[in-house]
A = this chain, B = another copy of it.
Amino acid sequence: MATLKDVAKLANVDVSTVSRALNNTSYVHPETKKRIFNAVKELSYHPNILAKGLRQGKKHTIAIVVPRISYAVYADMIPAVTQQAEKENYQCIICITDDELEKEQEILSRLRSGLVDGIIITSCGGNNRILRDISAEGISVLQAIRKQDENLSSIIPDYYSNAYEAVRFLYAKGCRNMGLIIGNLAIHPYLERYNGYMKAVRELDLEPMFVKEDGEPSSFEYGLVCTKKLFEQHSNIDAVLASLDIQGLGAQRQLKLMGKRVPQDVKLISLTGIQLGEYLETSMTSMEIPAREIGQEAVNLLIRDIETKDSHKSVKKLIYQSTLVERETT
């Protein structure tokens, strides 16, 4: 691979001149410039990004760390992030933790090695210490989708309102016995959804019905099992609120198995919308999270933070509203 030196030799100038010509960072005679550009083309020179980063202390690279890429929210958010990053002339590297603490730590430890200027992360929790250390070392950190650490900036959907609004909506549709499929309340989004649900249920003077199981909550099976259990506990249920899209699919299947008609007998709503909902045989009503917007704005926030020399950076907290998209299940 050709280096600056090679170009300099061919163009018969010093490397510094080549550098300045290519970066437009000082006067270079037009003729010299021409010679340099010709040499660049002839040698098909590409600057070494490592050397550049090393010298400048800036890598123009950010990382986005997510649990999975197949989950709708991330599948939506990630392309928005990479696109926005490109627009801002940043490179973007995507890391997948599988929602495992150990993997997340491994990844964070790698990222700590000066590869990136900033990190957008949906943490699986338990890494607050490391995240804060990284942040203290000068790498910008932004929590997205999930919030774990109040001392670091975050940008998340309004899970509380999602649940609250969904209950209100179903109430207006005539439902009076709404079952909620929920996960571990120690996890922030689940707690928020739970609180939003409870608030609405109390306001409307309804009986709260919710179910939580062991096992991976982000799964088809979880929706299947929880729906079954909900009906075992309360046979009169006329609406199911699934926390996630994939839970919703499981619920749909279970309702079919139990011979319940959707939406006539039971209505169904997902609190985390996916586009796919639209494509199903019976398309699913859902609260659609503005994942793309969140991704885009996350990049903007992060880059602003990176490029701020100011030492007393403020902790920012952004909350995005979702929109209810009504489809065939309600």
Answer whether residue A265 sits at the interface, using C-beta atoms and an 8 A cutoff.
Answer: no
Assess the B113–A48 pair: CB atoms within 8 A: yes
Q: Which of B44, B48, B91 contacts A54 (CB 8 A)?
A: B48
In the complex, A114 has a CB within 8 A of chain B: yes
With A69-B75, A78-B96, A98-B79 already in contact, the answer to whether A249 and B114 are too (CB < 8 A) is: no
Question: Which B residues are CB-close (under 8 A) to A115?
Answer: 49-50, 91
Interface residue A282 (Cβ < 8 Å from any Cβ of B): yes
Q: Which residues of B contact A113 (CB under 8 A)?
A: 46-49
Residue from the list B46, B112, B280 in contact with A281, Cβ < 8 A = B280
Flag whether A13 is at the interface (Cβ < 8 A): no
Which residues of A90-125 are within 8 A (CB) of B? Answer: 91, 93-96, 98, 103, 106, 109-110, 112-115
Copies in the complex: 2
Asked if A189 is an interface residue, CB under 8 A from chain B, the answer is no
On whether the beta carbons of A110 and B91 are closer than 8 Å, the reply is yes
Instruction: Known A46-B112, A47-B113, A110-B91; judge A279-B249 contact (CB<8 A).
Output: yes
What is the bound-complex CA distance between A109 and B86, given in angstroms? 13
Q: Which residues of B contact A246 (CB under 8 A)?
A: 279
In the assembled complex, which residues on chain B have CB atoms less than 8 Å from the CB atom of A68?
79
A78 to B66, CA, bound (A): 13
Q: How far is the CA of A253 from the CA of B1 in the complex (A)?
A: 53
Q: Does A26 contact B (CB under 8 A)?
A: no
In A234-277, which residues have CB < 8 Å from any B CB?
246, 249-250, 252-253, 256, 276
Whether, in the assembled complex, A169 has its beta carbon less than 8 Å from a beta carbon of chain B, the answer is: no
User: Given A70-B75, A75-B69, is A114 in contact with B280 using a C-beta cutoff of 8 Å?
Assistant: no
Q: With A and B bound together, what is the CA distance between A276 and B76 in angstroms?
A: 17
A42 to chain B, nearest CB (A): 13
Q: Please name the 10 residue pairs, one residue from A and one from B, whose CB atoms are nearest each other, closest first.
A: A49-B113, A93-B93, A94-B94, A70-B75, A281-B281, A50-B54, A48-B114, A249-B279, A46-B112, A50-B53
Interface residues of A (CB under 8 A from B): 1, 44, 46-51, 53-54, 59, 68-70, 75-76, 78-79, 82, 86, 91, 93-96, 98, 103, 106, 109-110, 112-115, 133, 137-138, 220, 246, 249-250, 252-253, 256, 276, 278-282
